[in-house]
Structure 1
Amino acid sequence: MATAITTIEAENIGEARRDLGPLFVGTIFVGSFLLFLVQPMVARMALPRLGGAPAVWNSAMLVYQALLLGGYAYAHAIARLNVRVQSLVQLMVLAASALLLPLHLIGVTPSTTASPALWVPWLLLVSIGPLFFAVSAQAPLIQRWYAAATGGKDPYPLYAASNLGSFSGLLSYPLLVEPRLAIAQQTALWTGGYVLLVVLTLICAAVLPRAGLDTSDAGIVTEAPPTLKRRLWWILLAFVPSGLMLSTTTYLTTDIMAMPLIWVIPLSLYLLSFTLAFGEGRGVVISICRLSPVVVLTMGGISLQNASSAPLVGMMAELLLLFVVAVTLHSQMYASRPAPVHLTSFYLSMSIGGVLGGIFSGLIAPLLFDWTYEHPLLILLAGALVPQAYLFSASERLWQGGAGRRWAITIVYALVVAFIAWAAIRQPWPWLHKSGPMFGAAAIGIITLLCIGRRPPFLIGLAAMVLVFGGWDAIQRSLHTGERYRSYFGIYTIRDEGDVRTLAHGTTAHGMQRLTPGHQWDLTSYYTAYSGVGQAMSRLPAILGPNARVGAVGLGAGTLACYAQPGQDWRFFEIDPTVVHISRESGSFSFLSHCKPDAKIVLGDARLSLGDVPANSFDFLVLDAFSSDAIPMHLLTREAFGIYSRVVAPHGMLLVHISNRFLDLEPVVAEAAREGGWQAARYDDMIVSGSDNARYTASSNWILMTRDPEVLRRVITNPPTNGKWRPLRAEPGFTGWSDDYATILPLLKAFR
């Protein structure tokens, strides 16, 4: 790369241009800060309309990546112009986009059956597309202007400042902005930041070279344009981290909660990787790159485990893997960067790779695969791209010699690894039972460490780790039709263990059915007679009569249908057609077909569907809409409870399922009850370990709400010995959730 300048041109630049770094760094920082502050902000604004499915964020990310690509393409297109002309064009684009301020979503609500895969892109493109496009072009343009204004100084370190701004914007939203400001205040803050950005851009334009320099790259020794092979290399290096970021996001938002605090973690690490990779200090980056094969080998396997028993371990493995892969591959991209004259071409290629990675993980993979095969495929591709260097002198000596010796060692190694993997998966000896995967992974990992430095055997070991840690089991389930389904809303797995068939979404069971004749329709899982819903359902006929109107938000395996009594009218609200197929049409579960075959099922987001229901339509409404282990946040806001209050009859009941491994949701419901004038009590059931029915049941937490104190009294009187009702616990200083304001920070169990 050549960035030297001639002596005469350096003198023409002048002493005054030596201290322009802070101005351009500040401008690029503010632009990137705004760009990534707006992402979770707009996603948060869209939740009440689009629902809380984890894939909604992935769809939003695809829109952001596409707009970013558009901004980079626009910056590349005007790169041929004099930098003065570039600045005028960009200022006009910023001014035109400002007509859309303050930030807001267009006033259109999707129908209850509208596909989020179509609605999310359309809504975001129309609402914030021009603003996002204008700001996204700032990073490459400001770097080009910096090179011109300083006479050819290397502009690439400014990209580290750009991504530091992006990282700061993302973290600021869930930690500072969302907990303290309502949506209207957030948009006002963003508008002020946009005005500051325009002012800084004006100042940058004012210090650009004047008419004496007839091209933006005067003073810079040029190099030949990047070859197609080099551009494809950049695209590939950008493709893998982008795809991994989205597949990691899917895991986190499925098993914790679909809201910006969780969404921003993978994206923040992804952006932080650019800051390190493009920064001037290289010591940390070199160390990360050297250790990257070890991290890919170990964390790549752990991250594929079923994390239901240790979800936080799986989460940390996922995040560490993503960060190390992103830093390593982005660092390789930085090492092959072109001269500043081809800067916009470099960033355009990088953006293309990012968009392709997003399309693969967010759009293509859900259509092609019934499991998250994109994740192990991306891990394997990362293993093929990370640099290889021997960790030990002994291993380097082992692989010394001619090609024949190296291939012979590789074949022997492959046979040993294949045998270990077979033993770990098949567990042919009793001492391997239950510990086979851990034993196999440990053995494969140890001997593969000796292969780091040689890519073919390393990839063999990595592939074996993937197979041992969940990959083989996933393939077997995919080969058996009817055991796994994948939709826009997640992955559903049907497992038979003994006389129990379980439906799992992500890592959380959403219903189980006994297969023993005579017990097929026993109430199981969270829905036994000793659960909160069981206690309320058993008293429903006596309190509200034999013809009660029952609504249930969330269908699952259809277990609740077996509480139906003759004369009752039942209606289920389910967002995912795949769940309807599993519970009613696939033949895997028979609760619905046997217990309440005439139950109505309303497809679409429950909040939107209930908004169209007439007032006082239900005597009993159950809120059990989980996304794996979490209730989508938009179903627990003040506005959502206002809808429930309208559709539930004055003497009716609302029952909310709040079981969650990570969040204490009681304060949210308690505040909604206080604001809405509900009488409420919480029920916690206790599973007796070792009892005959323990394997068919699961502990759960429910909150019963009604506006009639007498109804509440009649339900909570005389609970069973393995469960108890108690008043809701008030949380001092807690602010209830609304469409305009919500935060989960005070609810995290880890900090309570």
Structure 2
Amino acid sequence: MTANASPRRWLFVLTILVGSFLLFLVQPMVARMVLPKLGGAPAVWNSAMLVYQALLLGGYAYAHWLGRFQIRRQAAIHVALLVAAALWLPIGIANIAPPAPGQEALWVPLLLIASIGPVFFVVAAQAPLMQRWFAADTRAGDPYILYAASNLGSFAGLISYPALVEPALPLAAQSWGWTAGYALLVALVAISAAARWRAGGEAVGAEAVADGEARPALRRQIHWLLIAAVPSGLMLSTTTHLTTDIVAMPLLWVLPLGLYLLSFVIAFSTMDRLVQTITVVAPAGLLSVGGLSLLSSGGGSMMIALSSLAMLFLVATALHGYLYHLRPAPRYLTLFYLIMSAGGVLGGLFAALFAPLVFDWVYEHPLLVLASAMLLPLPALFPWDQWLGLKPRAARWTAALLVAVAAFACWKMVDGWTGVVADVKWWGIVIFAIGLLVIGWRWAFVPVFALLMLGVGGWDTVQESFSGMRVRSYFGVYTVTDDPEHQQRRLAHGTTLHGLQRTEAGKQLEPTTYYGHQSGVGLTLDKAEALAGPDAAVGIVGLGAGTLACYRKPGQKWTIFEIDPVMVDIARDPTKFTFLSECAGDTPVILGDARLQVANQPPGRFDILVIDAFSSDAIPLHLLTKEAIGIYARAMKPDGILLIHISNRFFNLEPVLAAEAKARGWSAAIRIDPSPTGDDFSDLTGSNWVALTAAPQRMDALTGGIRPRKDSRNEGVWVPLEGRARFERWTDDYASTLPILFWGNIIGDRE
């Protein structure tokens, strides 16, 4: 298309790119800013996502309302609001009173709205508004293609923050950089308004349908809403599903959201053939990967994770391509985007808020996968009815017979799930093949797909919900299981072992997993009396199954900090685990984020403070900064010992703590214990524990003298931390995880 046929398209594309880039850059930036204030609770992140989606919906509603006016008036109002919103710049956290107990769920959205609400609201409106202004010139062409530019800008903003912005700039510089970008956006919006100053408010492009097109019917609008809601919810549920039952990979939340945005880029572009190809293969991809979505014991490998991400991309692209196919004329453009945004909020509410409150497992994921099957276009992959020359009635009866065969195969799988694995596999292949054959008949494809999900472990997952041994909170899914063969009771967080107790008589209270007597924490707590006297004060951050409680001796004063009330209920229930009830039943357990709660303790309280706050392999970054360590130092006695658990498959945290110890002039050592081998040690796991103290003599008393590092493992002895010459100390204002990633472990399978 020539330049005259699309007047100043580059200007509107640039404006949309800049606005969308800023929109998705500010979200992780603000989340990073509030981390020290609110802590790392998943409920905080859920609230942030819901606030973001609600503000986006508000911005789209405002753009839709603004469309009733002439371009000149639209421009005057919008530029004025952009200037007024600049009063909230540079980006920072609002100073509002802390919440009353139990009011955190309302206070977190209030804080976020007060901090960035006006700015986010007005920037969110620019994408649909610029498309409407673009279409006001009759020579401009289809404005919907500009939505691809909007999502491309969003994707760039999302990826650039963890990859470029956070590693390079402290938060203050990030805020001022974002402010400069906002000034550029205001200028671009003003120039775009000038380019359409003489245009009418309701003009449409020449490629649009006639001016007299009726307003889309309510049924069509509901269809838009559902098609938009399912990919939005599936994006969030895929993230939860991967981190709960597959692999807790760092920065994993970026990948589903990034693929979700890319699906819009492709669906709303001119890549029609690619969209058609994806639409054809999406049902088969949904069948092959989504059929495993009810399986709760599949283990975690990178191949499964990548397959889940591929399914999300195929489904989202196919559904968004269908949405683009159902788009109205440009005169209803803002209504279309308003309903799309409402669908996004609906999907987000279901996956982020409703599901954790109602379900005891990540059932939202298979439900949204099944909803995808109900909404996807289903072009026949194998038109066997045409190949065989069957009449429609005969083809339908044949398809119904295939559904009956699939039901029989599902029954055989459920009946033999704990029996002959080979039989289960072959019956699963039968259902999968039937699913491929009935693509094209939605009434047949959906039940066959559901039968496959139920047969491949789904029945066991559902039965587990009625056992009372699985519970869910905002922090994850916890399952208590018995292993009679090894005489163990296990606590799993998703697929990660979170605690273990022996059931053999006389051994129930022996420490297990990371907490054995040979571990860094075991050695330290065993020496607590020798280090600090018979009345040693000990603080434990992270309760788990309560294993460490059995290190407490009479006369010692212990305090335990735990963020999840559900974990406290599990640890205190003697029908599940007895560490806490039998060894330290009177020990106070303080609920809340560790950093915030330790800060409330009186100065100089603890002789030993243990930080064991990892959730699987996720880093509690706000617990490892200069300011956080300062809080611990204040809560400890001058010669107290700080013990931090840093076992992790994805991050090397030694440089972080080495830099902190060097800056404070503290003594520091690490004990690296490998996983024991042999049946006698099956209850223990390897661990890395770091000890830090301001008193060198206390470190000598603990370690008996730090040994020099002689090889790559230095197993079973206390050795110096490995620092890095140019590693920058983590602070609340600056911390990047990229320099400490074990890239090889991210690429490889889960161990």
Q: TM-score range by the shorter chain?
A: over 0.9
Matched residue, 2:448: 461
Cα deviation for residue 449 of structure 1 reads 2.1
Report the CA distance between 1:719 and its aligned residue.
11
- Distance in 2 (CA, whole Å) between partners of 1:701 and 1:251 is 28
Q: CA deviation at 1:92?
A: 0.9
Gaps in structure 2 of 5+ consecutive residues: 708-713, 746-751
Q: 1:429 to 1:564 in 2, by over 3 A?
A: closer
Q: Determine whether 1:491 maps to 2:477.
A: yes
Aligned residues: 732
CA distance in 2, matches of 1:359, 1:430: 40
- What are the superposed Cα offsets for residues 245-288 of structure 1, whole Å, 9 maximum, x if unpaired? 111233456687798x4433222211111111000122222111
- Which deviates more from structure 2 when the two are superposed, residues 138-147 or residues 55-64? 55-64
Q: Is 2:655 the counterpart of 1:673?
A: no
Looking at structure 1, the residues matched to 481 and 632 of structure 2 have their Cα atoms a distance apart, in angstroms, of: 34
Deviations 1:515-535 (A, max 9, x none): 233222121121111222111
Alignment of 1:622-637 (within 5 A): 622-637=610-625
Counterpart of 2:685 in structure 1 is: 698
Q: Report the counterpart of residue 8 of structure 1 in structure 2.
A: none
| Residue 613 of structure 1, CA deviation | 1.1
**1:160·1:275 contact (CA, 8 Å) conserved in 2?**
yes
Deviation at 1:751, TM superposition (A): 4.4
Q: 2:719 is paired with a residue of what secondary structure?
A: strand
In structure 1, what is the Cα distance between the partners aligned to 2:488 and 2:391?
Answer: 57
Give the residue type in structure 1 aligned to 2:89. L
Q: Which residue of 1 aligns with 2:149?
A: 161
Give the conservation status (yes or no) of the 8 Å contact 1:258–1:632: no
Shift of residue 107, structure 1, vs aligned partner:
2.2
Native 8 Å contact 2:287 2:449 kept in 1: yes
1:173-188 equivalence runs, <5 A: 173-188=161-176
1:501 Cα deviation from its structure 2 partner = 1.4
- 1:384 corresponds in structure 2 to 374
- Segments of structure 1 that go 5 or more residues without pairing to the other structure are 1-13
CA deviations 1:471-513 (Å, max 9, x no partner) are 22221111112x1111122211111121211111222111111
Label 1:122 to 1:544 Cα distance change in 2 as closer, same or farther (>3 A).
same
**2:710 aligned partner:** none
1:101-250 correspondence to structure 2 within 5 Å: 101-108=89-96, 110=98, 116-151=104-139, 153-210=141-198, 213=200, 215-217=202-204, 221-222=210-211, 223-250=213-240
1:429 to 1:751, Cα distance in 2 relative to 1, 3 A: closer
CA deviation map 1:311-342 (0-9, x unaligned): 42332223212211111111100001011000
User: How far off is 1:425 after superposition?
Assistant: 3.7
Question: In the alignment, what sits opposite 1:747?
Answer: 740
Pair 674,248 (structure 1): closer, same or farther in 2 beyond 3 Å: farther
Structure 2 distance, partners of 1:644, 1:746, is 25
The answer to whether the 8 A contact 1:159-1:275 is kept is yes
1:535 to 519, 523, 528: 523
Cα distance, 1:674 vs. partner? 1.9
Alignment partner for residue 444 of structure 1, among 431, 434, 437?
A: 431
Matched, 1:38 2:38: no
Match of 1:11 in 2: none
Residue 365 of structure 1 aligns to a residue in which SS?
helix
Runs of 4+ with >6 A deviation: 14-17, 255-259, 718-722
- Measured in 2, the distance between the counterparts of 1:356 and 1:390 equals 30
1:360 to 341, 350, 359: 350
The residue aligned with 2:407 is 418
Q: Distance in 2 between matches of 1:300 and 1:160?
A: 27
Aligned to 2:257: 267
SS in 1 for 2:491: strand
1:277 to 246, 263, 267: 267
What is the identity, as a one-letter code, of the residue corresponding to 2:277? S
What is the CA–CA distance in structure 1 between the aligned matches of 2:31 and 2:704, rounded to whole Å? 43
Q: Which amino acid aligns with 1:610?
A: V
| Cα offsets for 1:537-595 (capped at 9, x unmatched) | 11111111111101011111111100000000110111111111111146311111100
What does residue range 713-724 of structure 1 map to in structure 2 within 5 Å? Answer: 713-717=700-704, 723-724=716-717
Residue pairs, 1:333-372, within 5 angstroms: 333-372=323-362
Using the TM superposition, name which of 125-134 and 309-318 deviates more.
Answer: 309-318
| Residue 6 (structure 1) aligns with | none
User: 3-state DSSP class of the match of 1:122?
Assistant: helix
Hey, what does 2:309 align to over in structure 1? 319
Q: State yes or no: 1:589 paired with 2:582.
A: no
> What is the rounded CA distance, in whole Å, between the counterparts of 1:111 and 1:96 in structure 2?
28
Shift of 1:200: 0.5
Shift of 1:306: 4.6
Q: Post-superposition shift, 1:206?
A: 0.7
Where do 1:428-443 residues align within 5 Å? 431-432=420-421, 440-443=427-430
Measure, in 2, the Cα distance between the counterparts of 1:156 and 1:56. Answer: 34
Distance 1:616 1:395, change over 3 A: farther
Which whole-Å CA distance do the structure 2 matches of 1:197 and 1:532 have between them? 54
Distance change in 2, residues 1:256/1:743 (3 Å): farther
SS in 2 for 1:734: coil
1:368-398 deviation per Cα after TM superposition (whole angstroms, max 9, x unaligned)? 1111111100000111222212223547536
Find the aligned partners of 1:249 and 1:74 in 2 and give their Cα distance: 30
Select between 461-470 and 351-360 the one with higher mean Cα deviation.
Answer: 461-470
Q: Bigger CA drift: 439-448 or 166-175?
A: 439-448
- The secondary structure found in structure 2 opposite 1:80 is coil
Distance 1:425 1:51, change over 3 A: farther
Deviation at residue 215 of structure 1 after TM alignment: 4.2
Matches of 2:518 and 2:431 in 1, distance apart?
47
Looking at structure 1, the residues matched to 161 and 648 of structure 2 have their Cα atoms a distance apart, in angstroms, of 24
Aligned residues of 2:5 and 2:141 also touching (Cα < 8 A) = no
TM-score by length of 1: 0.92
1:635 Cα deviation from its structure 2 partner? 0.9
Matches within 5 A, 1:679-690: 679-690=667-678
CA offset digits 1:197-230 (Å, max 9, x no partner) = 000011111111427x474459773211110011
Percentage identity across paired residues of the two chains: 50
Distance 1:363 1:479 in 2: 22
Cα offset for 1:289? 1.1
Change in 2 beyond 3 A, CA 1:134/1:658:
same
Partner-residue secondary structure (3-state), 1:550:
strand
Aligned-partner Cα distance in 2 for 1:188–1:114: 35
**For 1:393 and 1:270, how far apart are their aligned partners in 2?**
30
Change (3 A) 1:421 1:15: closer
Q: SS in structure 1 opposite 2:117?
A: helix
1:20 and 1:407 map into 2 onto residues whose CA distance is: 53
Q: Distance in 2 between matches of 1:436 and 1:689?
A: 34
**Equivalent residue letter for 1:421:** C
Label 1:17 to 1:194 Cα distance change in 2 as closer, same or farther (>3 A): farther
Over 3 Å counting, the alpha-carbon distance change for 1:396 and 1:745 in structure 2 is farther
Alignment-derived partner of residue 3 in structure 1: none
Q: Is the alpha carbon distance of 1:718 and 1:23 closer, same or farther for their aligned partners in structure 2, counting shifts above 3 Å?
A: closer
Instruction: Judge which range, 30-39 or 703-712, deviates more.
Output: 703-712
Length-normalised TM-score, structure 2 = 0.92
